[in-house]
């Protein structure tokens, strides 16, 4: 697809075939003149956009369309496009726990035109489970801003005898090896979080991986328990088809106010949960990072965005690029240390 670009002042002055050096001099002169004429507070948004052309900013997502990360990024992308004054295109490249999309961004030029809507899976967990990961999640990317973060919910099938998290622990200990849990796949974030929880609680729970239909398997009684993040199980919870026993985070969820934390029940709980964020290739200019961070934080604060996320029972994060970078590094280190204990260094 060809994107048409309206003639600019530089085009009229130089013509389409002008040398690159001449283009650069005129572009710089025009940008300086605009800034001086309008002042810092009134300078046009395009002047500090990630790129100075009308080329779109492409944001890759490592999972299929229709999921909540996809819906979230498409909403953010539309608002970000308005604020930047240039197109923002969201592109799904699913596969390999999101590492196909992440690999493409890691190889991209650090010019602000190719970004990643990353999640715990492809920015921390999946590389930790690979013998030869296609990238280092800490050094291959420039973290820009965290978008959302939240705990997992401990869910059980409706007919399980346990009515609380404590009763589930007692039941699982009384039936070692009988209990099983579902996840979206071997080495997935849900899988490793589950294994970490069972080790923390000193339980033996068998893993049952699914390529799809994990929640339906719990509803149908094919598995006993699973960890999932909101909003995926909300409809099943409201319909009484599964039960929530506890959450893994430090505090209760606003969407599930009657569900206690594991710590409230006196049970140990790992800091395991989901998170989403925006990142670019390594070497992204500081000015581009600052602009994108500022604009995404502004979008996250908008009432429409808050309504979208709160409708899912998910809280937005926001914050600085530095804080997101620290979180990615901590998560990558944690899962890299834990995955080998499960024998998950896959080829």
What's the pLDDT tens digit per position in 241-291?
A: 999 999 998 999 999 999 999 999 999 998 889 999 999 999 999 999 999
Same domain, 136 and 177: no
Other beta carbons within 10 angstroms of residue 326's beta carbon come to 12
DSSP symbol at 133? -
Beta bridge partners of residue 242, listed in sequence order: 157
| 39 lies in some domain | no
The CATH number linked to 178 is 3.40.190.10
The span from the CA of 73 to the CA of 92, in Å, is: 11
Report if residue 260 sits inside a domain.
no
CATH number at residue 103: 3.40.190.150
Q: Is residue 41 part of a domain?
A: no
Name the DSSP class of 139.
T
Q: Which residues contact 178 (CB under 8 A, 6 or more apart)?
A: 172
Residues 89 and 175 in one domain: no
Single pTM value for the model: 0.81
What Rg, from alpha-carbon coordinates, does the chain have? 23
Is residue 160 within 8 Å of residue 225, measured between CB atoms?
A: yes
Same domain flag for 157 and 220: yes
**Residue 333 counted as domain residue:** yes
Strands 180-183 and 225-228 come out as: parallel
Give pLDDT, residue 211: 82
Would you say 166 and 173 are in contact if contact means Cβ atoms under 8 Å apart? Answer: no
Please indicate, yes or no, whether residues 143 and 279 belong to a single structural domain of this protein.
Answer: yes
The mean-pLDDT minimum among 43-52, 129-138, 167-176 falls in 43-52
- Return the bridge partners of 92, or none: 61
- On the question of pLDDT at 48 being above 70, the answer is no
Query: Which two structure tokens, joined as six digits, stand for 196?
Result: 């970490």
The pLDDT value given to residue 337? 94
Same structural domain, 224 and 242 = yes
With a cut of 50, say whether residue 26 has pLDDT above it: no
Return the beta strands (E) in 5-83 as ranges. Answer: 57-61
Q: Does some domain include residue 31? A: no
Lowest mean pLDDT among 34-38, 100-104, 150-154, 197-201: 34-38
Residue 258 domain-assigned? no
**Residue 21 pLDDT:** 41
Q: Which of 247, 265, 294 is the last residue of a domain?
A: 247
Pair of tokens at residue 57? 């900013």
Name, in order, each residue with C-beta under 8 angstroms of 224's C-beta and a sequence gap of 6 or more. Answer: 156, 157, 160, 179, 180, 181, 205
Q: Are residues 91 and 240 in the same domain?
A: no
pLDDT digits (tens, 9 = 90+) for 145-195: 999 999 999 999 999 999 999 999 999 999 888 999 999 988 899 999 999
Q: Judge whether 328 lies within some domain.
A: yes
Cβ(195)–Cβ(183) below 8 Å: no
Cβ–Cβ < 8 Å for 104, 256: no
10-24, 29-43, 314-328 — most confident range: 314-328
Instruction: Find the Cα–Cα–Cα–Cα dihedral 311, 315, 320, 321, rounded to 10°.
Output: -70
Which of 97-106, 133-142, 209-218, 317-326 has the weakest average pLDDT? 209-218
Q: Do 162 and 133 fall into the same domain?
A: no
Of 64, 57, 67, the residue nearest 116 (C-alpha): 57
Looking at the structure, do residues 179 and 239 belong to the same domain, yes or no?
yes
Same domain, 133 and 279: yes
Boundary-marking domain end, from 231, 247, 263: 247
List helix spans (H) across 39-164: 68-84, 99-107, 120, 126-128
pLDDT of residue 30 exceeding 80, the answer is: no
- Tell me which residue range forms the domain holding 325: 56-149+274-342
Question: Is the same domain home to 140 and 279?
Answer: yes
Please indicate, yes or no, if residue 19 is contained in any of the structural domains.
Answer: no
Average the pLDDT over each of 50-54, 87-91, 163-167 and give the range with the smallest value: 50-54
* Nearest C-alpha neighbor of 321 from the set 86, 189, 196, 142: 142
Q: How many domains in the chain?
A: 2
Residues 163 and 237 in one domain: yes
CA-wise closest residue to 105 among 95, 119, 115: 115
pLDDT at 198: 96
Element (H, E) at 325: helix 321-338
Is residue 320 domain-shared with residue 333, that is, in the same domain? Answer: yes
Report the pLDDT value the prediction gives residue 54, as an integer from 0 to 100. 80
3-state secondary structure of 321: helix
């Amino acid at each position: 697809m060809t994107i048409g670009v309206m003639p600019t002042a530089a085009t009229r002055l130089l013509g389409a075939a002008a040398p690159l050096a001449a283009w650069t001099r005129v572009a710089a002169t025009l940008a300086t003149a605009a800034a001086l004429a309008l002042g810092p507070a009134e300078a046009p948004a395009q002047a500090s956009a990630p790129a100075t052309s009308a080329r779109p900013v492409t944001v890759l997502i490592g999972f299929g369309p229709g999921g909540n990360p996809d819906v979230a990024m498409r909403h953010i992308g539309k608002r970000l496009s308005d604020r930047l004054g240039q197109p923002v295109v969201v592109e799904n490249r699913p596969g390999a726990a999101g590492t196909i999309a992440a690999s493409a961004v890691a190889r991209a030029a650090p010019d602000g035109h190719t970004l990643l809507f990353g999640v715990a899976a492809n920015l921390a967990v999946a590389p930790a489970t690979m013998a030869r990961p296609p990238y280092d999640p800490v050094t291959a990317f420039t973290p820009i801003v965290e978008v959302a973060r939240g705990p997992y919910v401990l869910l059980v099938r409706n007919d399980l005898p346990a009515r609380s998290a404590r009763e589930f622990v007692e039941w699982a200990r009384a039936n070692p090896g009988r209990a099983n849990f579902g996840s979206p796949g071997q080495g997935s974030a849900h899988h490793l979080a589950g294994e970490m929880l069972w080790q923390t609680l000193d339980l033996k729970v068998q893993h049952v991986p699914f390529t799809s239909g994990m929640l339906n398997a719990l509803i149908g009684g094919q598995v006993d328990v699973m960890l999932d993040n909101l909003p995926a199980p909300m409809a099943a919870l409201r319909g009484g088809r599964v039960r929530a026993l506890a959450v893994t985070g430090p505090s209760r969820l606003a969407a599930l106010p009657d569900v206690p934390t594991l710590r409230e029940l006196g049970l140990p709980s790992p800091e395991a949960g989901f998170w989403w964020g925006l990142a670019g290739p390594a070497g992204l200019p500081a000015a581009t990072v600052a602009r994108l961070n500022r604009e995404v934080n502004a979008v996250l604060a908008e009432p429409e965005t808050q309504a979208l996320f709160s409708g899912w029972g998910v809280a937005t994060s926001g914050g600085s690029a530095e804080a997101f970078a620290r979180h990615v590094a901590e998560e990558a280190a944690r899962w890299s240390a834990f995955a080998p204990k499960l024998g998950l260094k896959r080829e």
